[in-house]
Amino acid sequence: MTPQTTLSDTIESTIASLPEHMQDWVRKEADLCKPDSVEIITGKVDQIIRLENELEASGAYTRLDEDVYGKRCFYARSDKNDVARVEERTVICTDDPVDAGPLNFWVDPEEMHGKLDKLFDGVMKGRTMYVVPFVTNPADSQFATGGVQLTDSANVVCNLYRMSNLHDGWRILEKQTRFPRITHSYGNLSKEDRWITHFPKELYCRTINSDYGGNALGPKKIFGLRLVGIQALENSQKKSQPDEDVGIEIVEHMALFGIDYGDRRVHFGAAFPSMCGKTNIATGVAEGPMAQHKVFTLGDDIIGGATKKGDGRLYVNNIEAGMFGVTKGMSDFANKMLMEALRNPKPEVQDCEGGPIFTNQVLVDNNGSKRVWWSESGEDFPQGDGITTCNWLGEQIDASAEEKDQKNARVTMPIRNVPHLDSAYNNSDGVPLDVALIGGRSSKLHPLISRARSWNEAVYHALCQFSEPTAAAVGQKPRYDPMANRPFIAFNVSDYAQKWLDIPKKTPKPPAVFSVNWFRRDDDGNFIWDGFGANYRVLDAAVRQLDRKDAWVETPIGLVPKPEQIDISGLKYTTTNEQLAEILVPDKEALKSEVANREGWLNELENGLETGSEGRGAPKKLPQAIWDEHEAFKKRVEEYTA
Ligand code: GTP
Ligand code: SPV
Ligand code: MN
């Protein structure tokens, strides 16, 4: 029986055309949010083009020059208070706070629903509620999951169209009775009432008062990484032997790429925290002695997959179909393949997913030709006759202005435009994960590359991965960031540690784990390592070590290469042999304080954060193996620094 609602006949008949098993939910949401109309996103491009045109007509989108970027390329500005993820307002609502763990904010589900019911009441008055289907993982993969996001933001719809396989959505959803549901409204963009909430038991998320990135794009971090992460945890806990098929087993905040070695392609997953180089490493070009090794892009933010039966390795896919990439620093030097994708969009992609959507760069009007500029692009700030430039706040500026592009300005684009896209990027099986890189921004401590002596040691170091803050999330401080996944592990971090420790039991041939750090700084604060294209030289050393061609040297933080094992001939910038030797070992002073710091951190994981624990979930005991590794680390540091 259809529940009693006050919805108009038009809205009722739109809802009635949805697959039956989702009608009640959509009706309930429409009844609460009270939109003027409900529109189903079909996945067909004409509808998206109409929305783009409407956004242009309203002034929300500025169409950029077709001769520069191809068709359907737009520029948008976010609200000035809505420029990044807000971890303080990201909440996991489980019955038991232990299931959310000490790193997540936790609210009782009923209490949170009560608060949200008030905020969502009538929030879509005067607006359209779009019913948006999406698919995480390639549509033909065994892990393809359809979901639905309700949103009042046409901007979100156009972004998702470029990133989340919308056109395959209804086909996949037809086969699924249980599906993830996300309700989103940009509301009034109030910072005070901004919430990004997850209800794992219901496979349901409600997010309000943001229209930007991870806060608003449901299939990405909210569902794709956090909720699927919980499913992957539960599946892998169920799994009793390697050949058992339990569904998706692993989801991580990792870029995915391959390096060509002639007779084989080595596949790397790179877990770096937000704004620490995933997109760059997945879309860069190897240089110098590595120049003949082509780098193939598969993904730039989130991977998912499982152990392949009879093979014993983890097979993973990019779970997205597009990128939401940082523009600051994007250049031919840093990630040439992304620049090529912008310069030479494929007509078939432009006619379907569309061109890039830029948000929060500098808008340039050069005698009527509109384009964008961002910092560290290698391009001088545009100036001259007939050129006007407006910063991300919409103010007319010149080259001397302090405020130009926003630090977390991004571009949304379909991955299909990237020229070195690996042909396996959307295949049904995924690719074998040979190497997992775990990194972060560490000015002093972490070597350029290191490898733990054992699996458990690798998990311990990864749990204690340190990183300095970036602009991807509001108000961060330097912190430990387990597997570069801290903002996205939606369950207890002790279970996450156990899950990682158990990988070899479920995956007999797990990836080799290396720790990397492109971000060591000298005493003046300058980066020491060239970075970017030079990073593949470091990865080549890793491949040689895998093949046991090179013996590495012991340090307390793992085995490290000798300087001569990394070829730095003809580096584009400045790293000298002495500097290379310096950044290949952990800094002794930093190492001394690291033992106590890590001890403090592990205690916080086990007992709750020392500061800022209010409102968070509850901790539980860490696996003993982590403490054993810590004791071993302590001893090695004592000997090394004696
Ligand atoms: P999210 O999309 O937030 O998850 O970030 P990401 O990990 O994909 O980061 P991205 O590749 O976009 O890089 C962020 C910033 O780091 C950019 O401004 C890059 O220029 C800079 N960066 C990337 N790689 C390197 C490197 O090797 N060295 C230095 N110094 N900077 C780098
Ligand atoms: C990140 O912050 O890790 C991102 C951008 O990839 S967002 O989609 O905003 O999460
Ligand atoms: Mn990310």
Q: Kindly report the three-state secondary structure assignment for every residue of 105-169.
A: EECCHHHHHHHHHHHHCCCCCCCEEEEEEEEECCCCCCCCEEEEEEECCHHHHHHHHHHCCHHHH
Q: Is the pLDDT of residue 100 over 70?
A: yes
* % of the chain surpassing 90 pLDDT: 96
Tokens at residue 562, please?
């000798």
The alpha carbon of 231 and the centre of ligand 2 are apart by a number of angstroms equal to 21
| Cβ of residue 416 lying under 6 Å from some atom of ligand 2 | no
| Cβ of residue 374 lying under 6 Å from some atom of ligand 1 | no
> Atom 4, ligand 2: which residue's CA is nearest?
274
Cα angle 590, 592, 595; round to 5 = 105
Query: What counts of helices (H) and strands (E) characterise the chain?
Result: 19, 31
> Atom 7, ligand 2: which residue's CA is nearest?
214
Q: How confident is the model at residue 590 (pLDDT cuts 50, 70, 90)?
A: very high
Q: Which ligand is nearest to the CA of 325?
A: 1
Mean pLDDT calculated for residue range 242-260: 97
329 CA: nearest ligand 1 atom: 20
The alpha carbon of 324 and the centre of ligand 1 are apart by a number of angstroms equal to 13
> Atom 28, ligand 1: which residue's CA is nearest?
531
Q: Is the pLDDT of residue 51 over 70?
A: yes
The alpha carbon of 274 and the centre of ligand 3 are apart by a number of angstroms equal to 5
Return d(Cα 482, Cα 467) in angstroms, integer: 10
Q: What are phi and psi of 187, to 5 degrees?
A: 55, -125
Does the annotation mark 276 as catalytic?
A: yes
DSSP, collapsed to helix, strand or coil, labels residue 546 as: helix
Among 33, 93, 205, 276, which one carries the catalytic annotation? 276
CA-only gyration radius of the chain, Å: 24
Of 582, 560, 267, the C-alpha closest to 437 is 267
Q: How confident is the model at residue 3 (pLDDT cuts 50, 70, 90)?
A: low
DSSP, collapsed to helix, strand or coil, labels residue 322 as: strand
Return d(Cα 299, Cα 271) in angstroms, integer: 12
323 CA: nearest ligand 1 atom: 2
Return d(Cα 217, Cα 151) in angstroms, integer: 10
274 CA: nearest ligand 2 atom: 3
DSSP, collapsed to helix, strand or coil, labels residue 9 as: helix
| Cβ of residue 272 lying under 6 Å from some atom of ligand 1 | yes
| Cβ of residue 323 lying under 6 Å from some atom of ligand 1 | no
Task: Identify the pLDDT of residue 192.
Answer: 97
**Average predicted confidence (pLDDT) for the chain:** 96
> Atom 21, ligand 1: which residue's CA is nearest?
277
Tokens at residue 256, please?
């995915």
| Cβ of residue 472 lying under 6 Å from some atom of ligand 2 | yes
Q: Is the pLDDT of residue 4 over 80?
A: no
Mean pLDDT calculated for residue range 233-238: 97
> How do 357-359 and 74-76 pair as beta strands?
parallel
Q: Is the pLDDT of residue 63 over 80?
A: yes
Q: Rounded to an integer, what is the distance from CA 294 to the centroid of its chain?
A: 24
Of 562, 257, 215, the C-alpha closest to 410 is 215
The alpha carbon of 213 and the centre of ligand 2 are apart by a number of angstroms equal to 6
With beta carbons less than 8 A apart as the criterion, state whether 343 and 59 touch: no
Q: What are phi and psi of 266, to 5 degrees?
A: -90, 125
Q: Is the pLDDT of residue 2 over 70?
A: no
Q: What are phi and psi of 42, to 5 degrees?
A: -80, -25
DSSP, collapsed to helix, strand or coil, labels residue 280 as: helix
CA atoms within 13 A on the CB side of 74: 23
Return d(Cα 560, Cα 537) in angstroms, integer: 14
Q: How confident is the model at residue 642 (pLDDT cuts 50, 70, 90)?
A: confident
With beta carbons less than 8 A apart as the criterion, state whether 604 and 554 touch: no
DSSP, collapsed to helix, strand or coil, labels residue 84 as: coil
Task: Identify the pLDDT of residue 316.
Answer: 98
Task: Provide the residue type at 117 as one letter.
Answer: D
Return d(Cα 476, Cα 627) in angstroms, integer: 27
| Cβ of residue 518 lying under 6 Å from some atom of ligand 1 | yes
Mean pLDDT calculated for residue range 205-227: 98
Task: Identify the pLDDT of residue 156.
Answer: 98
